[in-house]
Structure formats: structure tokens, C-alpha cells
């Protein structure tokens, strides 16, 4: 069983913003695996699905990005999932829009959602699917950039990266890290 968690913020005002790339990607995975029933448990919206004989728990923490670690840890405990079967999907400023990167382990690079997960789990060793959103233009504050919705061409790049991120997460489940990195990085 794999726990696939998309990071984001709950509420309509945050829907489809750059910071909610994880939520959008988990929604794309849910559509792919036919997971249609969402329920609230352990501080997250969850849905269950199956991909090529692998059971999946899809999750969107509802505690806001900066405190995502609590719901992630609760879900791991509730389902008996170890960190090596955890996939976190999140936005990444240091990756160009429209691209993704997959890795295992690493730091939080100032990402408060990842920091919260590191703190709650006591480890940095889990799979990550990083959805590139790029840096804000000019002197725009980072917070304004990540909490805005991409427009025009940027919206196409965002949608493309979300779709690729969903494919990469499912590849991690079925093919493992090395083959997924060769195909997507």
C-alpha cells in the first residue's frame, strides 16, 4: 500500500494556485485510478484506489500547508504505512514551470509543508514528486506568486506539470525510483 499526499491549502480561494499543485496532482491521480469517494479522516480528505494491483490511499491534508506533517503522520499510523511507501507531491520554486523532478529523500529547501513533514516523521526519507512553478517575476513577493493562479501560457505549463506529476507518482508505485527518474527527470 502506498500513501500519496498532495500538499496544498484548503478552501476555494486557494484552488488551482501554484501552491496547490499537490492537490491538483492528487486529483489527477484519483481520476486515473477511479477514486471518486472522498472522506475526511486524520485531518485530510482521503480516497482509495488501486493501480496495477497496488492499493493506494490518496490524501489532501486540510490543515493548511505549513502544518501538513500532522495529518501525514496520522494517516501513516492509521494505515500502517512506512516512509518508504510515502509519496509527497508539492510545488517547487527552483524547478522551471512545466517540468517535474522525482527523488527520494532530501531536505525541505525552505518549503514549510516539507519542514512540517520532516519534523513530524523524524525522517526526510520518502519519495517526492516536485512540480515546477519557477520563481516569481521581477520583485514580486514569493507568497504572492505561490498563492496566485497561473494565467495563459503559464496555465498550460502548470496543467502539463500536474499531469506529468500524476504519471510520475503512479510510475513510482509500479516501476520504482530508478525507472521513474529515467522517464521523468
From the candidates 19, 85, 90, 111, which is the catalytic residue?
19
Distances (CA, A) of 43 to 63, 100, 154: 7, 27, 31
Distances (CA, A) of 15 to 48, 71, 128, 146, 150: 22, 20, 21, 12, 11
3: three-class secondary structure by DSSP? strand
19 in catalytic set: yes
- Contact criterion met (CB below 8 Å) for 38 and 57: no
- Give the C-alpha separation, 60 to 24, whole Å: 9
Query: Where would I find the H helices in 35-122?
Result: 69-79, 112-121
Q: What is the set of active-site residues? A: 19
Amino acid at each position: 500500500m502506498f500513501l500519496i499526499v498532495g500538499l496544498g491549502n484548503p478552501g476555494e480561494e486557494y484552488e488551482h494556485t501554484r501552491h496547490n499543485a499537490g492537490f491538483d496532482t492528487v486529483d489527477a491521480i484519483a481520476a486515473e485510478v477511479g477514486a471518486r469517494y472522498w472522506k475526511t479522516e486524520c485531518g485530510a480528505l482521503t480516497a482509495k484506489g488501486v493501480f496495477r494491483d497496488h492499493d493506494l490511499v490518496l490524501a489532501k491534508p486540510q490543515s493548511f500547508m505549513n502544518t501538513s506533517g500532522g495529518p501525514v503522520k496520522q494517516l501513516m499510523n492509521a494505515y500502517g504505512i512506512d516512509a518508504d511507501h510515502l509519496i509527497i507531491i508539492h510545488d517547487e520554486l527552483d524547478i522551471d514551470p512545466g517540468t517535474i523532478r522525482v527523488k527520494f529523500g532530501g531536505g525541505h529547501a525552505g518549503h514549510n509543508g516539507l519542514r512540517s513533514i520532516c519534523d513530524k516523521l523524524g525522517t526526510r526519507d520518502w519519495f517526492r514528486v516536485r512540480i515546477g512553478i519557477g520563481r516569481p517575476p521581477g520583485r514580486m513577493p514569493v507568497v504572492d506568486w505561490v498563492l496566485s493562479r497561473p494565467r495563459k501560457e503559464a496555465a498550460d505549463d502548470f496543467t502539463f506539470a500536474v499531469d506529468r506529476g500524476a504519471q510520475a507518482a503512479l510510475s513510482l508505485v509500479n516501476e520504482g525510483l530508478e525507472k521513474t527518474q529515467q522517464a521523468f527527470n
